[in-house]
A and B are shown apart, each in its own frame.
Chain A
Amino acid sequence: MSAGKATGRTWRLGTTLLATVMGSASLTGCMGAMPIPRTALNRQLEQAGGNRDPSLGQRWLALIQQRGGREQVQLLDLQRQLPVPLPGLNRPDALPISVSSDADGERLAVVRQLGGRSEVVLYRRSLQSLQPIAMAPDTIPTLVNLRADGRQLAVQVSRNGLWQIDLVDLP
C-alpha cells in the first residue's frame, strides 16, 4: 500500500469519526470539542501493516504487530512516535495473543503460545527481564489486563469450558 493511499484512508476514518461525534454531541449534552485523530501516528501504524490488541499507557501504546510474516509485541513512545526496543520479549517460536502495558510503559503483561501451551509472562523493560506468571493448572489464559500502576494483573482464562477472570497481585 502506498503512503498516499494510507494517508487518505487515515484521514477519511478520522474525519468521519469526528463528523459523527459532532452530530451526536447534541444528544449527549456534553462538550463542544472533538476527538482528534493522531494523524501522523495513525499513518505510521497503517504503513507498518496489520496490528491489533492496543493497550494504552500514559505516553505508550503496546500492541501486537504483524512483521515479516509473524506477530510480535511492540511498544510505541507516543511522544516521539517511535518504537522502543524490547530485548528478550519477542522470540520466533512464540505467538503473542494479548498484551497490556502499565501507565509508564515499564511493565508489559503478555499472553503467548509457546510449545503448544498458553502462558502469561511479565516483562520489565528497565531490567529487560521476563518473568513467567504461573496460573492454575486447569486454566488456559487468553487475555490480560495490567493495572495502570503495574501492581495487579487481571487474566481472562478458560476453566472447564467457562470464561473466568483470575486476579494476580504482583510484587
Chain B
Amino acid sequence: MLRTPLLSLPLVLVALAGCTDSGPLGGASEQRRDPALSGDGRLLASISERQGRSTVILQDQSSGRLLALRHLRGHGPHRSPALSWNGRYLAVLIQQGMHPMPVIEDRLRGQLLRLPTPPGASVERLSLAPDGQTLALQLVQGGQQRVQVFDLSGLLEPDRAGGRRVSDPPP
C-alpha cells in the first residue's frame, strides 16, 4: 500500500484496500476539525483549536506550509470553511457580535466579502460550489434546520478547473 507523506506531520496508516491514507494532521497539542479540500487538491483549509481558540488555517498540502489569511484575523471563532477549485475563494463563518456571519475571502484580489446573517436566523454551516458561483447556508430558524442556496455569479468570478467543460458540447 502506498502512503502520501505530509512532510513532518505524523502519519498513521489505515488498512484500506485500494486507498491510501495520509493522516492525521495536527500535532499532539493541536486539534483540527472541519476539513475542506480545494478541488485541485493543493490546499486544505481546516479549523485549528489551540488554547481555546478556533481559527481557520490554510495549508499547502505538498509543502505543509501555512498560507496567510489576513482578512480573517481577529474575527474568531471560525468554523465551517470551504474552498473553491483552485483555492482562490475561502468561505468561512466568522463571529460578528453574538452571531456567526458567512464571509468569503478572495485570495487573488485580497478582498473580503461579507454576507451577514438574516435576522432571526443563525448560520450553522456553509458550502461553496467548486467554481465559487453558488453558496449554500445551513440556517436555524424557529428551532428548525434548513438549507438555503444563493447565486454568487454576479459577485465572484468563476474559479474553475483548467480544461473543465462549462457548457454542453455542440450537437
Known contacts A36-B154, A52-B125; 11 further A-B pairs (Cβ under 8 A): A24-B116, A28-B112, A38-B134, A38-B151, A51-B147, A55-B136, A154-B37, A154-B46, A156-B35, A163-B31, A169-B20
Contact of B35 among A30, A136, A155 (CB under 8 A): A155
B-chain residues with CB within 8 Å of residue A34 when the two chains form the complex: 154-155
Q: Nearest 4 CB-CB pairs, A to B?
A: A166-B23, A33-B154, A148-B39, A154-B35
Asked if A58 meets B148 with Cβ closer than 8 Å, knowing A52-B138, A168-B16, the reply is: no
Q: Give the interface of B toward A (CB within 8 A).
A: 2, 4, 6, 12, 14-26, 31-41, 44, 46, 49, 85, 106, 109, 111-119, 121, 124-131, 134-139, 141, 144-155, 161
User: Is the beta-carbon distance between B155 and A31 smaller than 8 angstroms?
Assistant: yes
User: Is the beta-carbon distance between B146 and A50 smaller than 8 angstroms?
Assistant: yes
Q: Chain A nearest CB: distance from B106 CB in Å?
A: 7
User: Is the beta-carbon distance between B23 and A57 smaller than 8 angstroms?
Assistant: no
| Pairs across A and B, CB under 8 Å, 25 listed | A13-B118, A16-B119, A17-B115, A21-B116, A30-B111, A36-B151, A54-B149, A56-B134, A57-B129, A103-B161, A133-B19, A148-B38, A148-B39, A152-B41, A155-B35, A157-B23, A164-B25, A165-B33, A165-B44, A166-B22, A167-B22, A167-B25, A168-B22, A169-B4, A171-B18
User: Is the beta-carbon distance between B26 and A165 smaller than 8 angstroms?
Assistant: yes
User: Is the beta-carbon distance between A38 and B35 smaller than 8 angstroms?
Assistant: no
B-chain residues with CB within 8 Å of residue A35 when the two chains form the complex: 115, 135, 150-152, 154-155
Q: Chain A nearest CB: distance from B105 CB in Å?
A: 10
User: Is the beta-carbon distance between B33 and A163 smaller than 8 angstroms?
Assistant: yes
User: Is the beta-carbon distance between A165 and B149 smaller than 8 angstroms?
Assistant: no
Q: Chain A nearest CB: distance from B28 CB in Å?
A: 8
CA A154 – CA B138 in complex, angstroms?
Answer: 20
User: Is the beta-carbon distance between A30 and B113 smaller than 8 angstroms?
Assistant: yes
Which of A10, A54, A143 is most buried by chain B, counting CB atoms within 10 A of its CB?
Answer: A54
Nearest A residue (CB) for B102:
A17
Q: Chain B nearest CB: distance from A28 CB in Å?
A: 6
CA A31 – CA B152 in complex, angstroms?
Answer: 11
A162 within 8 A of B: yes
User: Is the beta-carbon distance between A164 and B136 smaller than 8 angstroms?
Assistant: no
Q: Chain B nearest CB: distance from A21 CB in Å?
A: 6
Interface-located stretch among A41-49, A84-92, A111-119? A41-49
Q: Chain B nearest CB: distance from A80 CB in Å?
A: 14
A-chain residues with CB within 8 Å of residue B139 when the two chains form the complex: 13
Q: What 0/1 readout, one digit per residue, does chain A (113-153) give for beta carbons within 8 Å of chain B?
A: 00000000000000000000111100000010111110110
Nearest A residue (CB) for B20:
A169
User: Is the beta-carbon distance between A156 and B149 smaller than 8 angstroms?
Assistant: no
User: Is the beta-carbon distance between A51 and B146 smaller than 8 angstroms?
Assistant: yes
User: Is the beta-carbon distance between B41 and A54 smaller than 8 angstroms?
Assistant: no
A-chain residues with CB within 8 Å of residue B31 when the two chains form the complex: 162-164
A29 within 8 A of B: yes
Q: Chain A nearest CB: distance from B168 CB in Å?
A: 11
CA A10 – CA B41 in complex, angstroms?
Answer: 35
A70 within 8 A of B: no
Contact of B147 among A33, A63, A148, A155 (CB under 8 A): A63
User: Is the beta-carbon distance between A46 and B23 smaller than 8 angstroms?
Assistant: no
